[in-house]
């Protein structure tokens, strides 16, 4: 496996973590009130915005594609946390606990990337950024179906696996956009 991938993935995850920490400072763990379905919708909104920006070629809001990929990573990690803890009516965890949970899920996403990157032989490097967005949107639709079936699947991976895949596709998008600069 390309050692550069591990380094680039770690750098992208560190950038996402930095934003997560800044948001924790601003808002605390206010995301604890979000149900997983709402997080799935947040990821949908972010991915649709990326697709819109890719199609239109301009942003009227002033933020570009990179912050949206970072948001997808962070919402995906939050989604896995919420699946594990369940949602709350209050900010019931400290910033320190939120960061420990974040780091645990980020580690799982990294381990998944390493395993899949081995099996798929770095195929993501030959893909276009727009493909990552389309794959994230497809994963969102799959996740919505699973959510509509109360989390039950016959042969498919669960919601958490879909969130982790979305995280990893978004990280690949971050890497590709960073390489282009």
Average of per-residue pLDDT across 80-94? 96
- Percentage of residues in the chain with pLDDT exceeding 90? 87
pLDDT, the chain, mean: 95
- Give the pLDDT score at 78: 98
Question: Is 124 in contact with 104 (CB distance < 8 Å)?
Answer: no
Joined together, the tokens standing for residue 48 give 């649709």
Question: Does 155 or 124 have the greater pLDDT score?
Answer: 124
DSSP state string for the chain: --HHHHHHHHHHHHHHHHHHHHHHHHH-SGGGG--HHHHHHHHHHHHHHHHHHHHH---SSS--HHHHHHHHHHHHHHHHHHHHH---SS--S-HHHHHHHHHHHHHHHHHHHHHHHHHHTTGGGGS-HHHHHHHHHHHHHHHHHHHHTTT--SSS--HHHHHHHHHHHHHHHHHHHHHH-
Q: Single out the residue of 172, 155, 150 nearest to residue 72, CA to CA.
A: 172
pLDDT digits over 163-176, tens only? 999 999 999 999 99
Q: How many Å apart are CA 69 and CA 47, to the nearest integer? A: 8
Query: Residue 120: what are its φ and ψ, rounded to 5°?
Result: -95, 0
pLDDT digits over 34-53, tens only? 999 999 999 999 999 999 99
Average of per-residue pLDDT across 45-69? 92
Question: Is 83 in contact with 160 (CB distance < 8 Å)?
Answer: yes
- Does position 1 have pLDDT exceeding 50, yes or no? no
In the chain, the N- to C-terminal Cα span, in Å, equals 24
Question: Is 20 in contact with 106 (CB distance < 8 Å)?
Answer: no
Confidence of residue 30 (pLDDT cuts 50, 70, 90): very high
- Does position 3 have pLDDT exceeding 80, yes or no? no
- Give the pLDDT score at 60: 82
pTM (whole model) above 0.75: yes
């Amino acid at each position: 496996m390309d050692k550069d991938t591990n380094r680039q993935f770690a750098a992208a995850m560190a950038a996402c973590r930095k934003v997560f920490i800044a948001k924790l400072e601003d808002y605390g763990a206010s995301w604890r009130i979000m149900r997983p379905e709402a997080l799935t919708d947040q990821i949908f909104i972010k991915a649709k915005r990326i697709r819109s920006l890719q199609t239109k070629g301009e942003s009227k809001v002033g933020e570009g594609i990179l912050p949206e990929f970072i948001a997808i990573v962070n919402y995906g990690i939050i989604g896995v946390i919420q699946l594990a803890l369940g949602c709350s009516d209050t900010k019931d965890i400290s910033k320190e606990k939120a960061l420990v949970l974040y780091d645990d899920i980020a580690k799982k996403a990294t381990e998944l990337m390493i395993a899949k990157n081995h099996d798929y032989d770095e195929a993501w490097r030959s893909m276009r950024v727009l493909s990552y967005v389309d794959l994230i949107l497809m994963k969102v639709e799959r996740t919505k179906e699973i959510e509509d079936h109360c989390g039950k699947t016959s042969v498919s991976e669960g919601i958490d696996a879909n969130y982790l895949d979305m995280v990893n596709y978004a990280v690949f998008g971050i890497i590709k956009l960073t390489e282009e600069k």
